[in-house]
A and B are shown apart, each in its own frame.
Chain A
Amino acid sequence: MSDMSEEREALRGAVADYLDANFPIDTVHRIANGKESVAADEWSKVAQGLGLAGLVIPEEFGGQGAGFGELGVVLQEFGRTLAPLPMLSSAALGTLPFLLSTDDAVRRPYLEALAAGSAPAALALTEESDSWPQAPQATTAVQSGDHWHVSGAKHYVLDNGGATFYVVSAATAHGIGLFVVDGADVVRTELHAIDLTRPQANIAFDQAPAVALVVHVGDELTRLQDLAAILVSSEQLGGADAVMRMFVEYAKIRVQFGRIIGSFQAIKHMCANTLVEVEKARGAAEDAADRAAEGEPDLALAASLAKVATSEAYTNATLTNIRVHGGIGYTWEHPAHLYFRRSRSTSALFGTPAEHREALLVGLGY
C-alpha cells in the first residue's frame, strides 16, 4: 500500500513540476484570452516525455499500463492548473472506449496513435442533455457490407479544439454501439463556453464512414459513463483543492482592520467549511478511482457519489475564493473566475449533481 502511494506521489510530483513550469495560471489566462497559444507539438512532447497521453493504455500498445488510480492523480494536477492540454478529453475520456473494446485488430492503431500523442481522440455521447446516464436518441449507425456509416449529431464534446478521432455512441439495428469517426468527416461547431480554458463543440455527421469499435455495447455504455464521471470528479477535486489553497494563502496575508483577515472567525469558518467539503470529496473521488482500478463490476453508486461530492465542493470553493478575495476576486485579471467557470462547466457535464442524486436513489432501488 505504501509502495503504491509513494509511486503515485512520485507521479504527481513529476506532473506537477511539468505543469507548474509550463502552465502557470498567468500563462493559462493569457491562452484563454487568445494572447498566447499552446505549441502544436506540446501534447506529443508530453506524451513522449512524461508518458501521459498513454498513461492507462497497456504497454503492448505503447502506453504506460497504469491504472485509474494513477490517472486520477494526474487529472487532479490538470484540474489544479487548468492546463489546456487534452489530458481529460483524450488521454482519459477519449481513451476509455478503446479500453472497453476487446478487438485488438480494430483498436491497436488507435491506441498506438493515442499513446504517441499524435492523434488525440474525443468521447462524444451526449445528444439532448436532460438525463443521466445518457443513451443515443437520434444518432444511428448503418452497416453495408463490411462498412459502417453513422449519421447524427453530438453536443458539448470536449475535444480540445478539434480531435483527430471522435468516438460516438449510435443506435444500430441490434442495439447500441460505439463507433470511431474521423475528425475530417464531421462538421464541427465551436461553442461559446462558460469555461474559457477548455474548448467545446457540437459535431454533426451525415453518413460518415465509421469503424465499429464495440458493435453491441450493452451495459458497458453505463460503465463507460460511470468511468467518465469518476475521471471528471478527479479533475474537479484537483481544482477544488487548488482554489482552497489560493484563498487560504490570501487570508494569511491580507490585512484589514489592523489584522490578518484569516484571524477573523467569519473568514476562518468559510475556509474551514471548504476544507470539510474538499476532504469529503477527496474521499469519494479517490474511493471511486480505486474501485475503478480494482475492476469493480458496478461503479454506478461510487461514480454518482463522487460526481455529486466533487461538483459541489468545487463550485462552493470557487465562490468562497471570490468572496475571500473581495473586490479583486471578481475582476477579469484575477484567475478566480477561471476556476469558477470550470467548476460550473464540469458540474453540468457528465451528469449534474441533481441527476446523480436521482440516479443514486434509482440505483438503490427507490
Chain B
Amino acid sequence: MTTTDTTTDLEDFRLRVRDFLARNAKRVDAAGDEESQDGETVDYLTGARVWQNSLFDAGFSGLSWPKEYGGQSLTMHHQRVFNEEANGYVMPSSPFMVTLGMCAPTLLQYGTEEQRRTHVPKMLRGDEIWCQLFSEPGAGSDVAGLTTKAVRDGDEWVINGQKVWTSGAHFADYGLIVTRTNPEVPKHKGITMFIVDMKSPGVTVRPLRQMSGGSGFNEVFFDDVRVPAANLVGEIDNGWMAAIGTLMNERVSIGAGGGGLGRGTGTAQFDRLAELATKVGRIDDGAARTELASIYVEERLLAILSERMRAGLKAGKAPGPEGSIAKLSGSELGRRVADMAMSLLAESGQAWTDGEDDSLHWAQTLLGSPGGAIAGGTPEIMRNILGERSLGLPKEPQVDRDIPFKDTRTN
C-alpha cells in the first residue's frame, strides 16, 4: 500500500460511513424483501431517489469517480471500506444500476465535455435516471444487427424503430440509443449512438412482463423522434465502439455490482441459504453442506473479482472482457442458489400460504434466475467474448461481416 490512503485516513472514512449508515440506512432484517422487487413501484423509486440524494450530499456517491464530474476521487480502498460497512444494510440502488453502472461510464469515456458536466453529477445524485436502448426484436445476441434508423435533418436526427428489453425505460429521464445511420456499409460500421430525452414526442414505452411476473423491462417505440445533433455520443457511424464500452460496463454491473454503486462483502446469498438450511434441519446433511460451501466459495470469488475489477477501473483501465467473467459467474451462482433453496424447501418451495415469506422469496429468486443468465448477453456469447477478446482465439467464419448491412440476412 502506498502513501495516498494512510490507515488513519481510511479509519476516519470508515467511521464517517458507519455513522452515516446508522443514521440513514435501514438494516436488512428490519426491511423485509424490498430489494428483491422486480418492477419498481413509485414508492420504491421515490425512496431510492431520496436515498441516492442523501448519499451524494454526504459525499459517498461515486467514491472513485473524478471530482469534476461529481465524484469523490477516492481510492478502491475507500470503496472497499464502504462496502464492508454497508454489508447488512438495505441499499435501494437498483433503479440507478443502468445509470451509474453503464450509461455514466460510457459518457465519461465517449461523451463530450459538456455532456459529462451536464449529466454525470445529476446521475450520481439520483436526479437523472437513464436507460440503455440497445436490444431490438431482431437484434439480440447480435446487437450490431440493429435496424432502428436515425436520419439527419439539419441540426437534428430523426429516429424510427423499436427497442426491447430496456430496463427502467418506464421511469428513465434519458436513454443512450444506438441506431443505424448507414446501411450501405458493413454492419459494425454504420452505427451511431445518441442521448435521447425519454419525454420526447414520439417515444412510447410499454412494460414487458417477464416469466417471474415482474415488469422491470420494456418495449420502447420511436416514431419520428427528433434528437439535437449535440446529443451525438462519439462519432457518426462509429458508435459500435461506444456500444461495446457500454456492454462491457453492463457485464461488470450485472455480474458484480460495478459502477459507482456499493455492494456488500459478498456472502448475502450464502448467509440466507445457510439460515434456511438450519431452519429446515438440513445443515448437518453432507450433500447440503457441500453445495452450501460451494455457494459460499463462488460468492466470495465473485466479490473478490468485482473488487479487483473496480480497482482496475479506478486505475484508469476501461473494463475489459473480464466483465464477462463476472456476468457468467454471477448468473451461474444465481441458478445454483435458487436450485439449492428449492431443494431445501422441497414441497414448500412450490406452493405456500400467505405469510410464508421464505417460499415467496425463493420462488421469486428461482423464477428470475433464467433471465439473469440471458440479460446482458447469454453465457454462450460471454464465452465467445472471453475466447476471442481475452484469449485471442479466432472467430467462427462470418457470413455478414464484410458486406453492406442492407445485403445481410435479418429477421
Contact = CB atoms under 8 A, between A and B. Distances in A.
B296 A271 contact: no
A252 B392 CA distance: 8
A309 B386 contact: no
B6 interface: no
B397 A3 contact: no
Contacts of B347: none
Interface string A222-259: 00000000000000000000000000100110000001
B192 to A, nearest CB: 30
Interface in A324-366: 354, 357-358, 360-361, 364, 366
A284 B388 contact: no
Given A252-B392, A263-B394, A287-B304, A309 B297 contact: yes
A275 B325 contact: yes
A24 interface: no
Contacts of B274: 361, 364, 366
Instruction: Give the contact-size bracket for chain B.
Output: 35 or more
B255 to A, nearest CB: 11
A276 B393 contact: no
B395 interface: yes
From B329, B380, B393, B395, residue with most partner A Cβ within 10 Å = B393
B374 interface: no
A305 B397 contact: no
Interface stretch (B154-162, B287-295, B355-363): B287-295
Given A275-B325, A283-B308, A308 B387 contact: no
A272 B391 contact: yes
Contact of A268 (B292, B294, B383, B397): B383
Contact of A305 (B2, B278, B300, B391): B300
B390 interface: yes
Contacts, number: 111
Contacts of B289: 357-358, 361, 366
Contacts of A358: 289, 293
A273 interface: yes
Interface in A265-312: 265, 267-269, 271-273, 275-276, 279-281, 283-284, 287, 305, 308-309
B393 A366 contact: no
Given A263-B397, A269-B380, A280-B305, A357 B391 contact: no
A252 B394 contact: yes
B386 A357 contact: no
B387 A262 contact: yes
Contact of B300 (A252, A267, A275, A284): A284
Nearest to A251: B393
A2 B4 CA distance: 12
Nearest to B294: A357
From A2, A281, A366, residue with most partner B Cβ within 10 Å = A366
Interface in A28-60: none
Interface in A1-21: 1-4
A269 B2 contact: no
Nearest to B77: A1
A276 B325 CA distance: 6
A2 B290 CA distance: 39
B346 interface: no
Given A268-B383, A283-B304, A283-B305, A263 B2 contact: no
B322 interface: yes
Nearest to B278: A366
B383 A269 contact: yes
A191 interface: no
Contacts of B382: 272
A260 interface: yes
Contact of B329 (A252, A262, A280): A280
Given A272-B390, A276-B329, A308-B297, 6 more contacts: A260-B393, A263-B395, A269-B380, A271-B393, A272-B391, A354-B290
17 contacts: A1-B2, A248-B392, A259-B397, A262-B387, A265-B387, A267-B393, A268-B384, A272-B386, A272-B387, A276-B386, A280-B304, A283-B305, A361-B274, A361-B289, A361-B293, A361-B296, A366-B292
Interface pairs A-B: 6 shortest CB-CB: A357-B293, A268-B387, A262-B393, A272-B383, A272-B386, A283-B304
